[in-house]
């Protein structure tokens, strides 16, 4: 790992064992991009990467020199309209109406470690030896605005972190109307674009397309990262797969409106941009003020998509997630929501908790309905005080009784929303996000609070801190159940309304930061109607997220598979729920529901009192299994084996760091008749180590299991007449592999 500056050629080379990133100061003082990809040798001069050739219809800044045009140069901070007609990374609206800028090199600084981003989530280091950071300062002389470009190269990851800090050092106010976090200009467009799209209850489906001349983009303007698109894309070579080939993964550490786009020009070069969505964005910078963009993380892999994903898993699991729970196996929980919905009292909750304790479950979570006037979803949000009719002893009394059973206690909040039927709304109607003179839309019978206002955040902090500080709460599920509409803050003047979306997210981050610091023992799980805010920004505060409101095992195969391209297993909230499933009305075996959910944080969402003795016995076995293997399942190296989007079977596995133990999950969606013999090629094992398959006498070397495959044939390969345990729809199996020393 190193950052080298070659003064004679004005070239920067950032590199580690996997990655090289090379830039240079161009003739006009702009910062030019030379190379991004596999590690290459350092040298004094990489100027041969720059190609100059006169092109027709190009705008050129130097008279009588048609070879130098920004339209055909790769740049780090391009600005539209200066001869470059591609979308730019920055736009500054000035008092005279101009939007042009000319950011040129001023100086740079190379430091060990990684500085913290003020008020924003970001990757971090625990020692200066883990990373090096380059800060390059550029300046637009006419406005006095400076751009400090930050690049961090990591020692242990094939990753680069990039962000920009804009400062107004002039004497006139300006407005940032475009502030991308990353621009990557690639010399060709021979890539497949992979995005992760969907909607509520079917999030993060991999969608592959070819970027053609024009713009390919994903983004959100909903006020949160959204169910529909995720702030993560992949550019992979067309021949790349799980095991081989080049891929760039681009992830934005942000939870609000975002844009990631690839623009292919007429000469087949590709510009990749990522940052805050410019639609509706405008940030006023008075003299002396600054603006920090969110961080973008770029991962390069030349050993396939699986290698890229595991880089993200390790980086985000160890150097984005924080706190005491970052490296700890997660407690097995039961959530009362699908067991009771709003129909509960303390006795009913304690009865469910005792049944859960008998099964070995460790954490009881009280979901929606415990506060204020809340007896359904039309009242109470905003009033975070216990409802004495339901909880006569309050949260403190209930938590003490749960703890007395030998379990931990967790609690649900939705702090960003308010119902009109609440004391908060009656006292502070102006705290809603609502446009003057317009009828505000409602979603789920609720409205969003104006988290851009410090007094709103302070109020929610006081209410939540009183509950968390007054009771034995070990876990918080933080929900958010609607997108922003009619985005307007009564506390800001008209000229600053373009700041509200971003200030809202900063307010959410501020509340998270305060609470996680005050209550470091609490495990926070983020949730936004399931997967509506499953993004890296949330992982900085809450090391796990409710992956989707859809708990059907078959749909979860797809959702968790797509999520795994960027996010670690330890971040995926995954539970066993009742059947018929409450979202899909599908009936799947209890075994399969657990075999899917165990590749996640694991828990239950059902009424244990409705289960048979046989089913309760099965749950006890599932809980015991998870306690033995959860550290491996949640923190091992994860490998995708068969995609649920491409056939009737799906498979994945996780391998311990020392490669001595592995768990393989194999799933068949629909039953088959007189089918073929089947094998599953495993990944990530030690080829020279002998592995014993638990429950059998079979032992195989790692190279056998990875080259020839694990035999998965069952009674569907023949007649099922007389078979003791015939196969059915939605069947699954777990294979446990241990080193046979």
CA angle 735, 736, 737 (to 5 degrees): 115
Q: Which residues contact 65 (CB under 8 A, 6 or more apart)?
A: none
DSSP state of 332: P
C-alpha–C-alpha distance, residues 206 and 202, integer Å: 11
Do the beta carbons of residue 207 and residue 218 sit within 8 Å?
no
Provide the b/e sequence for 703-721 (b: ≥16 CB within 10 Å).
Answer: ebbbeeebebebebbeebe
Helix 394-404 / helix 454-470 crossing angle, nearest 10 deg: 40
Do the beta carbons of residue 478 and residue 461 sit within 8 Å?
no
Residue 648: which of 624, 620, 676, 628 has the closest Cα?
676
Hey, what are 407's tokens?
């379990």
Q: What are phi and psi of 179, to 5 degrees?
A: -150, 80
Measure Cα distances from 392 to 346, 389, 422, 447, 548 in Å. Answer: 8, 6, 20, 29, 33
Do the beta carbons of residue 4 and residue 46 sit within 8 Å?
no
Name all contacts of 650-658 with Cβ < 8 Å and 24+ positions apart. 650/557, 650/561, 651/680, 652/561, 652/564, 652/599, 653/682, 653/683, 653/684, 654/569, 654/599, 655/683, 655/684, 655/685, 656/632
Do the beta carbons of residue 38 and residue 61 sit within 8 Å?
no
C-alpha–C-alpha distance, residues 699 and 691, integer Å: 5
C-alpha–C-alpha distance, residues 612 and 449, integer Å: 44
Hey, what are 478's tokens?
């933080």
Residue 217: which of 263, 249, 183 has the closest Cα?
263
Residue 278: which of 86, 92, 70 has the closest Cα?
92
The set of catalytic residues is 479, 549
C-alpha–C-alpha distance, residues 112 and 128, integer Å: 5
C-alpha–C-alpha distance, residues 707 and 705, integer Å: 6
Residue with tokens 């505000």: 440
C-alpha–C-alpha distance, residues 309 and 635, integer Å: 13
Measure Cα distances from 250 to 17, 161, 194, 272 in Å. Answer: 19, 10, 10, 9
């Amino acid at each position: 790992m190193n950052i080298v500056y070659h003064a004679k050629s004005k070239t920067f080379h950032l590199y580690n064992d996997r990655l090289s990133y090379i830039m240079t100061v161009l003739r006009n003082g702009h910062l030019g991009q030379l190379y991004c990809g596999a590690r290459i040798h350092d040298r004094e001069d990489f100027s041969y990467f720059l190609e100059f050739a006169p092109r027709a219809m190009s705008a050129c800044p130097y008279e009588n020199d048609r070879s130098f045009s920004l339209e055909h140069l790769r740049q780090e901070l391009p600005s539209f309209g200066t001869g470059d007609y591609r979308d730019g990374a920055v736009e500054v609206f000035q008092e005279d109406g101009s939007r042009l800028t000319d950011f040129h090199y001023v100086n740079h600084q190379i430091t060990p470690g990684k500085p913290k981003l003020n008020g924003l989530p970001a990757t971090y280091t625990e020692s200066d030896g883990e990373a090096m950071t380059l800060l390059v300062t550029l300046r637009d002389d006419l406005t006095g605005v400076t751009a400090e470009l930050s690049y961090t190269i990591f020692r242990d990851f094939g990753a680069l972190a990039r962000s920009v800090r804009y400062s107004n050092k002039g004497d006139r106010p300006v407005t940032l109307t475009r502030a991308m976090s990353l621009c990557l200009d690639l010399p060709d467009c021979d890539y497949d674009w992979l995005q992760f799209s969907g909607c509520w209850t079917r999030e993060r489906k991999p969608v592959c397309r070819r970027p053609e001349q024009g713009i390919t983009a994903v983004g959100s303007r909903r006020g949160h990262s959204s169910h529909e698109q995720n702030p993560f894309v992949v550019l992979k070579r067309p021949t790349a797969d799980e095991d081989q080939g080049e891929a760039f993964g681009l992830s934005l550490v942000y939870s609000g409106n975002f844009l990631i786009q690839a623009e292919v020009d007429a000469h087949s070069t590709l510009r990749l941009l990522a940052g805050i969505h410019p639609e509706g964005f405008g940030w006023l910078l008075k003299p002396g003020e600054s603006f920090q963009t969110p961080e973008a993380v770029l991962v390069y892999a030349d050993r396939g998509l699986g290698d890229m994903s595991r880089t993200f898993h390790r980086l985000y699991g160890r150097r984005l997630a924080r706190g005491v729970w970052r490296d700890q196996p997660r407690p097995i929980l039961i959530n009362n929501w699908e067991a009771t919905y709003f129909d509960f009292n303390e006795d009913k909750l304690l009865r469910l908790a005792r049944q859960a304790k008998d099964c070995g479950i460790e954490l009881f979570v009280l979901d929606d309905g415990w506060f204020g006037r809340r007896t359904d979803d039309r009242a109470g949000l905003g009033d975070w005080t216990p409802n004495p009719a339901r909880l006569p002893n309050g949260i403190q009394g209930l938590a003490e009784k749960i703890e007395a059973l030998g379990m931990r206690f967790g609690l649900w909040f939705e702090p960003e929303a308010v119902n009109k039927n609440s004391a908060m709304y009656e006292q502070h109607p102006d705290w809603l996000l609502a446009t003057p003179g317009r009828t505000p839309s409602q979603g789920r019978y609720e409205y969003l609070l104006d988290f851009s206002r410090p007094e709103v955040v302070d109020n929610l902090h006081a209410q939540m801190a009183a509950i968390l500080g007054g009771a034995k709460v070990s876990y918080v599920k933080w929900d958010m159940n609607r997108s922003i509409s009619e985005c307007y803050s009564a506390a800001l003047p008209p000229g600053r309304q373009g700041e509200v979306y971003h200030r809202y997210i900063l307010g959410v981050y501020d509340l998270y930061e305060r609470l996680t610091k005050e209550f470091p023992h609490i495990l926070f799980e983020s949730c936004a109607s399931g997967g509506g805010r499953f993004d890296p920004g949330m992982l900085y505060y809450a090391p796990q997220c409710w992956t989707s409101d859809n708990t059907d095992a078959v749909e979860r195969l797809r959702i968790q598979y797509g999520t795994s391209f960027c996010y670690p297993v330890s971040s995926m909230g995954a539970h066993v729920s009742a059947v018929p499933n409450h979202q899909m009305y599908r009936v799947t075996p209890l075994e399969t529901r657990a075999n899917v959910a165990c590749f996640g944080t694991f828990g239950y969402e059902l009424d244990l009192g409705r289960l048979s003795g046989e089913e309760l016995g099965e749950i006890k076995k599932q809980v015991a299994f998870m306690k033995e293997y959860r550290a491996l399942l949640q923190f091992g190296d994860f490998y995708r084996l068969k995609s649920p989007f491409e056939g009737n079977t799906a498979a994945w596995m996780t391998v311990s760091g020392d490669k001595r133990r592995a768990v393989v999950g194999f799933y068949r969606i629909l039953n088959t008749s007189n089918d073929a013999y089947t094998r599953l090629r495993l990944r990530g094992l030690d080829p020279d180590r002998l592995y014993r398959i638990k429950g059998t006498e079979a032992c195989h070397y790692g190279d056998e299991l990875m080259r020839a495959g694990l035999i998965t044939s069952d009674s569907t390969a023949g007649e099922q007449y007389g078979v003791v345990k015939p196969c059915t729809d939605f069947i699954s199996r777990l294979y446990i592999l241990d080193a046979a020393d």
